């Protein structure tokens, strides 16, 4: 183990997981996650790398009342490299990648081309607009490698491997939430060239935002108004209604339910909710994490069998912002695809892109039935 590597175990009343923390050549942090008792190698990074850009900035959109992230250095990020040049594979046979070890289970490291940075600073910027505030793009962007197998998919993981990813998400959510200035943690996976993915190795990302994202703000506002009007929790009532109806439910386990939402926006869309209302991934207990891993793998495999080729998808965790004093949030995962048939994609056309008013080509009940049948 190199001089920068540090191993630790974290339990938090859960099954213990080994976390080994080290540094890459340019100072970015890298963490290996493994099951307790598994040997972890954390060799030093021998590469010579240029400094990571710290020029990210935020600009305020006064018309929509939200921040826009700007990171022009990302134009030069790695784009669809050949299999032998994949930066997320282990370092082997003299070829050095972003992961110095020759093998790994789950790895998380700071993005080399981040949209947000904890060291972001502004050069002299004047947008010549009194209503558009500009500030450093503070935050953190991490890459999550689900497996060292370049040809695998998340759906190929075992329940134990998927559970380790859940534990890694929980660990990063907890730690990143302590950063002064961070307001929300977003764990997600984008899969498929059709989605815009530029690296084919199975991986996801984690964003630590310095603001509450527009979608989350909207959900919180709607949930608040519903509580004021009815005295009830909106998410709990949505889940209860879907369970009673049953027509859009894909599966229900002891701790989770997966269903196609009645007003789905995307051609294929599934929401996964824990039956116990919690606000963040770290709040899930052992049984809930194990149960989620099995259910999530089942849903992903249904996605892959729906057509002749695996669906491109985005998998997005909706967690509470760091400050949720009103207790409005309900943790859930949104999984959706832009493929509307075996050979057609849904592109955001005028109504969706221009007005954010979605038009769907398939009924949620039909999608749920097809996913149950595959």
Q: Catalytic residues, which ones? A: 203
Long-range CB pairs of 118-123, under 8 A, 24+ apart, other chains included:
118/179, 119/54, 120/54, 120/55, 120/56, 120/57, 121/54, 121/55, 122/57, 123/55
Are the C-beta atoms of residues 36 and 113 closer than 8 Å to each other?
no
- Nearest to residue 202, comparing CAs of 280, 115, 282, 300? 300
Q: For residues 214 and 235, what is the distance between their CA atoms, to the nearest angstrom? A: 18
Q: For residues 51 and 251, what is the distance between their CA atoms, to the nearest angstrom? A: 47
DSSP secondary structure code for residue 157 in this structure: S
- At residue 69, the 3 state secondary structure works out as strand
Q: Is 235 annotated as a binding residue?
A: no
Q: For residues 342 and 43, what is the distance between their CA atoms, to the nearest angstrom? A: 44
- Nearest to residue 361, comparing CAs of 344, 251, 371? 344
Going by C-beta distance under 8 Å and a sequence separation of 6 or more, which residues neighbour residue 129? Answer: none
Q: Is 89 annotated as a binding residue?
A: yes
- At residue 265, the 3 state secondary structure works out as coil
Q: For residues 268 and 214, what is the distance between their CA atoms, to the nearest angstrom? A: 23
Joined together, the tokens standing for residue 93 give 């046979």
Joined together, the tokens standing for residue 147 give 């497996």
Number of alpha carbons in the 13 Å side-chain half-sphere of residue 151: 1
Are the C-beta atoms of residues 2 and 44 closer than 8 Å to each other?
yes
Q: For residues 148 and 159, what is the distance between their CA atoms, to the nearest angstrom? A: 16
Are the C-beta atoms of residues 192 and 80 closer than 8 Å to each other?
no
- At residue 206, the 3 state secondary structure works out as strand
Going by C-beta distance under 8 Å and a sequence separation of 6 or more, which residues neighbour residue 316? Answer: 186, 188, 333, 334, 335
Q: Is 187 annotated as a binding residue?
A: no
Q: Is 129 annotated as a binding residue?
A: no
Q: For residues 74 and 113, what is the distance between their CA atoms, to the nearest angstrom? A: 6
Task: Please state the residue numbers annotated as binding site.
Answer: 86, 89, 150, 201
- Residue list, annotated binding site for Zn(2+): 86, 89, 150, 201
């Amino acid at each position: 183990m190199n001089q920068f590597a540090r191993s630790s175990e974290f339990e938090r009343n859960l099954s213990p997981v080994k976390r080994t923390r080290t540094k890459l050549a340019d100072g970015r942090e890298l963490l290996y996650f493994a099951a307790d008792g598994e040997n972890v190698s954390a060799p030093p990074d021998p590469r010579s790398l240029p400094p990571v850009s710290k020029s990210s900035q935020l600009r305020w959109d006064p018309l929509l009342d939200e921040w826009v992230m700007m990171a022009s250095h990302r134009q030069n990020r790695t784009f669809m490299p050949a299999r032998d040049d994949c930066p997320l594979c282990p370092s082997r046979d003299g070829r050095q990648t972003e992961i110095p070890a020759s093998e790994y289970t789950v790895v998380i490291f700071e993005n080399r081309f981040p949209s947000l940075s904890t060291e972001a600073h502004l050069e002299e910027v004047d947008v010549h607009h009194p209503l558009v505030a500009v500030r450093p793009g503070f935050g953190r962007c991490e890459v999550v490698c689900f497996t060292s197998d370049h040809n695998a998919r998340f759906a190929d993981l075992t329940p134990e491997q998927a559970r380790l990813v859940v534990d890694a998400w929980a660990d990063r959510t907890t730690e990143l939430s302590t950063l002064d200035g961070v307001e929300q943690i977003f764990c997600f996976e984008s899969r498929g060239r059709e989605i815009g993915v530029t690296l084919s190795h199975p991986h996801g990302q984690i964003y630590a935002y310095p603001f509450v994202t527009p979608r989350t703000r909207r959900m919180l506002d709607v949930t608040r108004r519903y509580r004021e009007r009815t005295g009830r929790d909106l998410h709990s009532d949505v889940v209860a209604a879907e369970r009673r109806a049953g027509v859009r439910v894909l599966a229900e386990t002891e701790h989770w339910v997966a269903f196609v939402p009645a007003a789905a926006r995307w051609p294929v869309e599934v929401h996964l909710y824990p039956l116990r209302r919690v606000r963040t991934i770290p709040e899930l207990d052992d049984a809930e994490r194990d149960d989620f891993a099995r259910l999530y793998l089942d849903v992903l495999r249904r996605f892959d069998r729906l057509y002749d080729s695996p669906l491109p998808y985005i998998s997005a965790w909706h967690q509470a912002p760091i400050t949720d004093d009103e207790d409005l949030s309900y943790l859930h995962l949104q999984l959706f695809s832009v493929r509307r048939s075996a050979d057609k994609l849904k592109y955001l056309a005028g109504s969706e892109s221009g007005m954010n008013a979605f038009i769907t080509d398939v009924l949620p009940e039909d999608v749920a039935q097809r996913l149950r049948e595959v």
